[in-house]
């Protein structure tokens, strides 16, 4: 099968696209450029993420899960900006034409794309070591994008969902950690899904427009990613650890969580809970933004943990 047949068969869709609202796409796959008409008054948010075999996923990972994850990690960046997903491009390097793999990959990819009304508008396909690069295009009302730089002294710090489970799943798959002997099969599948089929918090990000003062998605580990907010905002933080069940190291430095980590003024506590409730994603208040430009952890007894950040650096950098 040639390159063009492959694109036509697996990536160019004949049914009309699933969109949320009006499609922006005037010209999609098949011409030299896709042509999009942005929503009047909106700003565009763009992000790219690349997944490389051996580095970001195991060679034997299920193709459908990989299609899901490749788009999910990109949608997670849009979520962190509070942007509504609109379109994406897909650049693929494939070692060979494996139709079963392509069918699974495109199924996982389009299931998530359709769930968010995000249209595939173009890409590139070449032969080479398995590599997937997606660029997503989202929109926000002018001036409403959530940035890393907006945290203010006195703001609360929150994290959505649960952190540390993707890392736990990875360590179990690698054989470094024993799965809980009491865990049933369904629990183990759910845990593995946290690693291989993450849920981008797109609706929560949108609901946090005008509520969160700063936001980032947790891809490299909570403390490392919080540090990005602190640096960009020129502030520090006090973080509690009493909300963590399971490994502190995995929760604070695990990575691959794709949860939202954000700050909001104390007078927005009600609005934060309303956003969580509306989108059906739990959020936990985990700390406070401080003037002192350092990151301090507090244990369950409320005592300051010494040299806490440096001791978790190792996990944050993996």
Q: Is residue 92 close enough to count as binding ligand ADP by CB under 6 A?
A: yes
Can you tell me the distance from the alpha carbon of 203 to that of 315, in angstroms, rounded to the nearest whole number?
29
- If contact means CB under 5 to 8 A according to the sort of partner, which of Mg ion, ligand ADP, none does residue 133 touch? none
Report how far apart the first and last C-alpha atoms of the chain are (Å, whole number): 40
The answer to whether 117 and 21 have CB atoms below 8 angstroms apart is: yes
Q: How many residues bind ligand ADP (CB under 6 A)?
A: 13
Angle at 78 between CA 49 and CA 22, to 5 degrees: 115
Q: Is residue 32 close enough to count as binding ligand ADP by CB under 6 A?
A: yes
The site map against ligand ADP for 124-153 (x = CB under 6 A) is: xx----------------------------
- Tell me the closest approach of the beta carbon of residue 45 to ligand ADP, in angstroms: 20
- Tell me the closest approach of the beta carbon of residue 195 to ligand ADP, in angstroms: 25
Question: CA separation (Å) from 93 to 51, 61, 176?
Answer: 11, 16, 31
Residue from 24, 25, 29, 214 binding ligand ADP (CB under 6 A): 29
Q: Which is nearer to ligand ADP, 124 or 180 (CB)?
A: 124
Residue ranges that bind Mg ion, judged by CB under 5 A: 32
- Tell me the closest approach of the beta carbon of residue 81 to ligand ADP, in angstroms: 23
The answer to whether 282 and 161 have CB atoms below 8 angstroms apart is: yes
Site for ligand ADP in 99-128 (CB under 6 A): 120, 122-125
Can you tell me the distance from the alpha carbon of 37 to that of 30, in angstroms, rounded to the nearest whole number?
17
Q: Which of 206, 89, 77 is nearest to 140 (CA)?
A: 206
Can you tell me the distance from the alpha carbon of 315 to that of 318, in angstroms, rounded to the nearest whole number?
5
Q: Which is nearer to ligand ADP, 30 or 210 (CB)?
A: 30
Q: Which is nearer to Mg ion, 32 or 245 (CB)?
A: 32
Beta-carbon count within 10 A of 262 CB: 32
Residues binding ligand ADP (CB under 6 A): 7, 11, 29-32, 90, 92, 120, 122-125
């Amino acid at each position: 099968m040639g390159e063009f047949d492959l694109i036509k068969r697996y990536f160019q869709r004949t049914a009309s696209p699933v969109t949320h609202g009006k499609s922006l796409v005037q010209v999609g796959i098949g011409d030299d450029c896709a042509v999009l008409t942005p929503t009047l008054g909106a700003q565009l948010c763009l992000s790219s993420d690349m997944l490389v075999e051996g580095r970001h996923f195991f060679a034997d990972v299920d193709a459908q899960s990989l299609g899901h994850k490749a788009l999910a990690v990109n949608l997670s960046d849009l979520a962190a900006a509070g942007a509504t997903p609109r379109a994406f491009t897909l650049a693929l390097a494939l070692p060979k034409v494996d139709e079963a793999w392509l069918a699974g990959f495109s199924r996982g990819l389009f299931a998530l794309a359709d769930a968010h009304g995000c249209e595939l508008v173009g890409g590139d396909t070449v032969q080479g070591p398995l590599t997937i690069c997606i660029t997503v295009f989202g929109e926000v009302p002018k001036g409403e994008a959530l940035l890393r730089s907006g945290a203010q002294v006195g703001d609360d710090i929150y994290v959505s969902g649960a952190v540390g489970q993707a890392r736990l799943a990875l360590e179990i798959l690698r054989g470094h950690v024993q799965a809980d002997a009491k865990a049933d099969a369904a629990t183990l599948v759910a845990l593995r899904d946290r690693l291989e089929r993450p849920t981008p918090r797109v609706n929560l990000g949108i609901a946090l427009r005008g509520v969160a003062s700063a936001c980032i998605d947790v891809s490299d580990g909570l403390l490392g990613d919080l540090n990005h907010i602190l640096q960009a905002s020129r502030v520090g933080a006090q973080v509690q650890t009493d909300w963590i069940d399971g490994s502190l190291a995995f929760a604070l430095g695990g990575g691959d969580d794709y949860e939202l980590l954000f700050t909001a003024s104390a007078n927005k506590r009600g609005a934060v809970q309303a956003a969580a409730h509306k989108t059906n994603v739990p959020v936990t208040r985990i700390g406070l933004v401080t003037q002192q430009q350092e990151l301090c952890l507090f244990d369950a007894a409320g005592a300051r943990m010494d040299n806490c950040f440096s001791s978790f650096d190792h996990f944050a950098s993996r």
